[in-house]
Amino acid sequence: MSKAEKQKQFPKDLFRLDSLADDIKRNMVSQLGNDPRNKRKFPYFHALGHSVRERLIDMWMKTQGDYYDSMTKRVYYLSLEFLPGRFLMNYLTNMQIVDECKQVVEELGFSLEELEEEEWDAGLGNGGLGRLASCYLDSMASLRIPGYGYGILYDYGIFYQSIRNGNQEERCDNWRRSGCPWEIVRRSTLFEVRFYGRSEAYHNVDGKVCYRWVDTDNVMAVPCDILIPGYGGEHVSNMRLWAAQSSREFSLADFNRGDYIGAMHGKVMSENITKVLYPNDQFVQGMELRLKQQYFLVSATFQDILRRYLKRHVSLAALPDAVAVQLNDTHPAIAIPELMRLLMDEHNLGWEVAWDICTRTFAYTNHTVLPEALETWPVDLLGRLLPRHMQIIYEINRRFLEGVAQKYPGDTERLSRMSIIQEEGGKRVRMANLAIVGSHTVNGVAALHSHILQTGLFHDFHEYYPRKIRNVTNGITPRRWLLQCNPALSRLITQAVGPDWVCNLDKLRELVPMAEDSAFREAWAKAKLDNKRNLARYVLRKVEMGINPNTMFDMQFKRMHEYKRQLLNVMHVISLFNLIKDNPSAGITPRTVMVGGKAAPGYYQAKLIIRLINEVARVVNSDEDVAGRLRVVFLPNYCISQAEKVIPAADLSEQISTAGMEASGTGNMKFSLNGALTIGTLDGANVEIMEEVGEENIFIFGLKAHEVAEKRRNGYNPREFYENDPELRRVVDMIGSDFFCPDDSGLFRPIFDSLMNHGDFYMLMADYRSYMDAQSAVSALYLDQKEWVRKSILNAANMGKFSSDRSVMEYARGIWNVEPLEG
């Protein structure tokens, strides 16, 4: 048998595909109590899900056995968010059984696509931070790095967004309502998580002063596992999510008194902990419930980690040799005092030994420099909810500041900047400072971002700990973001360079010479056009609007936030509109501008920008002069499964944040990998994308990060641009007038004010002209399809660096000190 034949044979045997159809029918009966003759899609999706999962469990058990046998170091990736999207196609893709499964499903009378559409996206995250965590789990599993994701099983994920009368409306996302075939709930393995109470000092048998945490309120944590198959399906790791369960079902005393509602009160309150995901991205909400969620995750996870560790070790001294914990932003940073507490109060270690173990175990990733996203907790709140942790944090801080004072005698300003406790404006705990002090390594997520951490936000810490702050540029998994979401292009690439690119994305570089081959370019363009047609069908279904696949698909999909500057995009659209109205016969490159993204429910300005996009769309799309040349679509409810349809169909990717504000971006990588050209600022990973694809293959515009900083320092005057640029003035005036809101006078005035009267913090006015120039260059190039397609190929070809496999290997070697298991 040839190697290729063997490979083909392998998943067939491994995953018992011959019996798949029978298993689906069996699961219809045994799991769902349904008659398989009843051809309803949802139960069939479920039965298929169960049948696929069954096939992974053996592999998962084998993987766990390998970990124990090799006594290997394990990585724990702690994150309050994951964003896995749908699982079905991810499992089939990574198990390499998509075609086989398609056939089986068709024999049962369905198409795989229609069953796929039955699945709800898992609602466990907001945006890039959560999706990054999921890409990293995929890479860890595919690279055979022993790792686990730990998070929270929220019942309600981020809201479902719909648009009514141009406004965002939020509906709760009850994503688990109909059950989820991927979850393995382990109701018999419970951990107790404590809150409130007080810390009590006592003398132990040796007369030493010790502390215990007493009079607590307790909640149980139930683990729920979701399997994460690596590519090939042989190495299967796990995402363990915790659900809160009351420690008492209900108060019998209340019940017996006839207070039936009161009897449930305690249960409802404690189970609330994991009910909802906070729908904020880049903004912290100082709520007790949020801190509870954080500690709930951390406490349950560490009980699990130590349980597993102590199966094979007697002393905790070797913990850092067996366990690496990555803190995904500061959200789980309460883990640092928690591990100290466990080591000292429950395992009797002294401070120095415990601290040494702690700081060799943790590493922290920072994902933002926006001040509103940097977590601080009021000392009062933290001290009430977690009294023992508050004591420990004070002691960490005392010892830390002692060291700082020794190095910089008399520099009290520095001490107050670096202190874990912020004194001004009511005492608060600065979680980033705690995370830096308690970790051996801190990393930013793109070269520019890490540089800004070193020289700006964490400058004092960088001086104090010169080797601690480093960079690991983000990455994306090529399995989901090319192989799975873009079968047309994947097939073409595999024909051209063979199948190895899936696990070695640098292989794509072999496409470079093919950019000069006209037949290949034609095939490339055809794949893109097919994807655009698919998206057009989706848009028609979703918003009942026809879009023309022969126009340029110009796309901006990401969370709605002022720093991401969706407004700048709208300003370009309005300028194009004016151009056409002034000269209806002008030859312009036809575009379909699409925008998608959710705004946090309390973020007024971001929601107003959604409204503006929709009103501009209404005006533009109904104008006869404009018809066929410009169309604007806001696609509601951006989520992973929608991204999988949007990204493969993009011609142009808008990555236009104010320089210095987007830590990395990962959408930028996904679009480029799928052959879109980028228009962007030199921000986040755009800088490195430009380095990889070459300046001539990307449209860069606008102020650079240091120029933004200088402008802020020297006094920035947005009105100057308004006075000197009539085209800009016209656009800004139109937004401020009632042109786009004839029935709702003054509606968009706050947007006008933000640009003109409140300082234009995000510097749209300063970047407008160069953005317009870059857009003109885009339009001109699009008319030269040969050049455009060439550059499209060169973009994809040079994206090797942005595989999350590369990022994860950098973490593994440089931070976690683990090696992949031998296979």
Residues that bind ligand NBG (CB under 6 A): 127-129, 132, 281-282, 329, 367-368, 373, 445, 474, 662-666, 684
Active-site residue, from 666, 678, 790, 791: 666
**Beta carbon of residue 39, minimum distance to ligand NBG (angstroms, whole number):** 42
Q: Is 589 a catalytic residue?
A: no
CA gap 109, 435 in Å, rounded: 54
Minimum CB separation of residue 278 from ligand NBG in Å reads 12
Q: Is 666 a catalytic residue?
A: yes
Rounded to a whole number of angstroms, the minimum distance from the CB of residue 25 to ligand NBG is 42
At 389, which amino acid appears?
H
The CA distance from 364 to 367, in Å, is 10
Q: Could you tell me the strand order of the sheet in which 677-680 lies?
A: 630-634, 591-596, 552-557, 652-655, 677-680, 699-700
The answer for residues whose C-beta is within 8 angstroms of residue 622's C-beta and 6 or more apart is none
Residue 266 tokens, joined: 């305690």
Can you tell me the distance from the alpha carbon of 614 to that of 163, in angstroms, rounded to the nearest whole number? 9
Nearer to ligand NBG, 163 or 370 (CB): 370
- Identify which of residues 129 and 483 has a Cβ nearer to ligand NBG in the complex: 129
Residue 281 or 644 having the CB closest to ligand NBG: 281
DSSP track, 723-783: HH-HHHHHHHHHHHTTTT-TTSTTTTHHHHHHHHTS--TT-HHHHHHHHHHHHHHHHHHHH
- Output the CA–CA distances (angstroms, integers) from residue 792 to 15, 514, 664, in the order listed: 37, 12, 22
CA 253 and chain centroid, separation: 45
Token pair of 763 as six digits: 């510097």
| Encoded tokens for 563 | 């720093």
> How many degrees, rounded to 5, is the angle at CA 96 between CA 92 and CA 99?
75
Closest CB 128 distance from ligand NBG, rounded Å: 3
d(CA 168, CA 611) in angstroms, rounded, equals 7
* Closest CB 368 distance from ligand NBG, rounded Å: 4
Query: How many C-beta neighbours within 10 Å does residue 523 have?
Result: 19
Residue partners of 623: CB distance under 8 A and separation at least 6:
577, 581
Please indicate whether residue 559 is annotated as part of the active site: yes
Rounded Cα gap, residues 629 and 576, in angstroms: 10
What is the C-alpha separation between 382 and 292, in angstroms, rounded? 10
Catalytic, out of 565, 670, 790, 791: 670
We find the least distance from the C-beta atom of residue 329 to ligand NBG, in angstroms, to be 6
Specify the residue, 180 or 679, whose C-beta has the smaller distance to ligand NBG: 679
Closer residue to ligand NBG (CB): 281 or 562: 281
Give the nearer residue to ligand NBG in terms of CB position, either 354 or 687. Answer: 687
Q: Looking at beta carbons only, is 237 or 474 nearer to ligand NBG?
A: 474
Of 575 and 666, nearer to ligand NBG (C-beta) is 666
SS3 content of the chain, % helix, strand, coil (to 5): 55, 15, 30
* Smallest distance, ligand NBG to C-beta of residue 74, A: 23
Cβ at position 684, least distance to ligand NBG in Å: 5
- For β-strands 147-152 and 362-365, DSSP reports them as unpaired
Virtual torsion, Cα 595, 366, 447, 474, nearest 10 deg: -60
Which among 86, 88, 154 is positioned nearest to 124, based on CA atoms?
Answer: 154
Count of H-run helices and E-run strands, the chain? 34, 23
Tokens of 636: 């509601």
Question: Would residue 389 show up in a list of annotated catalytic residues for this protein?
Answer: no
* 431 in Cβ contact with 333 (< 8 Å): yes
Instruction: Determine the Cα–Cα distance for residues 682 and 88; give it in Å rounded to an integer.
Output: 37
Query: What is the closest distance, in whole angstroms, from the C-beta atom of residue 370 to ligand NBG in the complex?
Result: 8
- The least distance separating ligand NBG from the CB of residue 770, rounded to whole angstroms, comes to 22
Question: Where do runs of H (alpha helix) occur along 81-180?
Answer: 88-95, 98-107, 112-116, 128-143
Residue 324 Cβ, how far from ligand NBG at the closest point, in Å? 19
Catalytic residue among 55, 292, 308, 367: 367
- CA 584 – CA 593 distance, rounded (Å): 19
- Set 559, 591, 598, 607: catalytic member: 559
Alpha carbon distance 656, 460 (integer Å)? 30
129 or 620: whose CB is closer to ligand NBG? 129
In 346-504, where do the E strands start and end? 362-365, 376-378, 421-422, 428-430, 441-444, 469-471
Q: Measure the CA–CA gap between 631 and 701, rounded to whole angstroms.
A: 24
Please state, in angstroms and rounded to a whole number, the distance separating the CA atoms of residues 10 and 799.
Answer: 30
Nearer to ligand NBG, 235 or 449 (CB): 449
By beta-carbon proximity to ligand NBG, the closer residue of 34 and 454 is: 454
CB of 649 to ligand NBG, least distance (A): 22
Query: Which amino acid does the sequence have at 297?
Result: L
Catalytically annotated residue among 558, 565, 591, 791:
558
Provide the token pair at 123.
Answer: 């609602």
Q: Residue 542 corresponds to which amino acid? A: K
Residue number, 648 or 665, with CB nearest to ligand NBG: 665
Long-range contacts of 200-206 (CB under 8 A, 24+ apart): 204/348
Of the pair 301, 666, the CB lying nearest ligand NBG is at 666
Could you say which of 388, 480, 564, 790 is catalytic? Answer: 564
Closest distance to ligand NBG from the beta carbon of 132 (Å): 4
Eight-class DSSP state of 180: -
Catalytic residue status for 670: yes
**Which residues share a beta bridge with 122?**
85
Residues belonging to the active site? 367, 558-559, 564, 666, 670
